[in-house]
Structure 1
Amino acid sequence: MLVAFSVAPSGANDAEGSVHSAVAAAVRVVRESGLPNHTDSMFTTIEGEWDEVFAVVKAATEAVAAWGPRVSLVLKADIRTGRTGELTGKVERLEAALREGRDTTP
């Protein structure tokens, strides 16, 4: 399964209104988990089995909770039994379709 999530403390983290330090703590948890992952400007995506992925999401959320009494968590999951390598596989298939011109109306 793939789980894309965004986690941040509610309210500003610093004088500029940034939450980057709290988010960095969450991303550190994800990277140290050893699961395949990718972070972009909006979400961190993790690939693995249900229990291991959600254990990492929970630990990342707990890391962010150190920055305040309230945490916001947004999740999106792609649950596809028997598939692995989808963190990059989905993007590779998309890029191939674009190269081959398969992005036109059927």
Structure 2
Amino acid sequence: MEVGNIIIELSKKGYQFKLDGNDVRYKYIGFDEPDPNEIIPLFKKIKNRKDQVRQFLRCYCPKCGGCVFWTNFYGESRCLACDPPDYELLERLYAGRWKH
């Protein structure tokens, strides 16, 4: 199973992943206790593949599972689905910079 599929599966089971610098952080935010017989094997599969996990998390939204991002005015990467840009504001900021 690919690293991305494992992270998506764990996310569906209530885990939230994020990058903290070079460290991979995760926490359980689900409602019921996770079944260790399902969870432990999945974590074992990604334990020694941290480079691939980091690479996947750089292009994965932990809230919605989306993978389309945009960069805001401050250079921060934002999920297009969860945090869409204010197109009217962008239009005012960049008015006249592009020729049609």
TM-score by length of 2: 0.30
Larger-Rg structure: 2
TM-score by length of 1: 0.29
Q: Which has the higher helix share?
A: 1
